[in-house]
Amino acid sequence: MAKRDAYFDNAKLFLMILVVFGHLFQPFIEDKGIYSDLYYFIFTFHMPAFILISGYFAKGQPKPLKKLVKKLLLPYIFFQLLYSAYYTLIGLQESFSFSITTPQWSLWFLLSLFCWNCMLYLCQRFSVKQVLIGSILVALVVGYIPFFGRFLAVQRTLTFFPYFMVGYALPTDWIARIKTAPKKWVAIALFAGIFVLIETNDFINKYWVFGSKPYEDYLNHPLLGGPQRMLFFLLGLIGITAFFMLVPKGQYFFSKWGKNTLTVYLLHGFLVKGLRAIGADDVEMGIWGLAILFASSVLLTAALSSERFGKWIEKGKQKVLRPVLN
């Protein structure tokens, strides 16, 4: 078995903290303009980076369909059912409803990851470069198609597929160069540039970075949707590069938590949605509240990705979780 690279475990851990923080933070972004700017800034690169890493580790022959179904599609169906029941229990849904075609909240990622891995079979007929260029063109065009929205996460799957292909096509020596990049101030400058661009444009809304809706649903001038999406694709690549430059490459006490980020991704929603159901997001969020929210995100991520929690899951009776949590 190949030795794990602590660099990528560190990267996934920090990205997962940002995912949890973003979900906890989302209800408060309208309180102050700076909050929405911070939220959009995080979403510019954190899921694209996760997707790029997924593509990077998908190199080689496409995984067998049976393995993809077991690892991604069956857990998607199970958690879709589980979240539907949970939302009904806590009052976020008036009555129980279950749909395979409309992913609950963050479960779109499992469905999209399944589709991205399946689409790698295109690389057996076309070159990686051709598939990458094609994925970019499709990502720009799909926003003009009004009926491609949340159904089977088609809009998000095609919008974010270029990041997956960039990761798939990325040479390993590029990562090696990023690891040894000596000037961390360059990364800070790149992040600052992205943030300033977002802060100075009041017309940006969350769907610019979600990639979940056609252009006509969130843009006053839908014809400009293609250029807008291309701009944010490039900003995402810049943000990913800056992030990778800041990730520590050594083995630390927290590195092992990066092995279990999918566990955190699938389970943190129960707490986030539970807090929203009891009205915890109605409080006013000040600077100290923001700091507490971030610290809570770190603690929740550490707890759910810890070895102890993993052992507790293993001892549970819900064996159907094992393909996801291992």
The Cα 211–Cα 139 span in angstroms is 9
> Following DSSP, what letter does each residue of 167-236 receive, concatenated?
HHH--HHHHHHHHT---HHHHHHHHHHHHHHHHT-TT--THHHH--S-GGGT-SSGGGHHHHHHHHHHHH
Q: Which tens digit of pLDDT belongs to each residue from 167-195? A: 999 998 888 888 887 788 999 999 999 99
Q: Which two tokens stand for residue 281?
A: 């997001």
Please tell me the distance from the alpha carbon of residue 109 to that of residue 119, in angstroms, as a whole number.
15
pLDDT greater at residue 179 or residue 67 = 67
According to the model, what pLDDT value does residue 3 have? Answer: 73
Condensed to tens digits (0 to 9), the pLDDT of residues 14-43 reads 999 999 999 999 999 887 789 999 999 999
pTM, two decimals, is 0.93
The mean pLDDT value for 107-126 works out to 96
Q: Mean pLDDT, the chain, as a whole number? A: 91
Residue 324, pLDDT score: 45
Residue 138 has pLDDT above 50, yes or no: yes
- Per-residue confidence (pLDDT) for residue 313, from 0 to 100: 73
C-alpha 224/C-alpha 215 separation (Å) is: 8
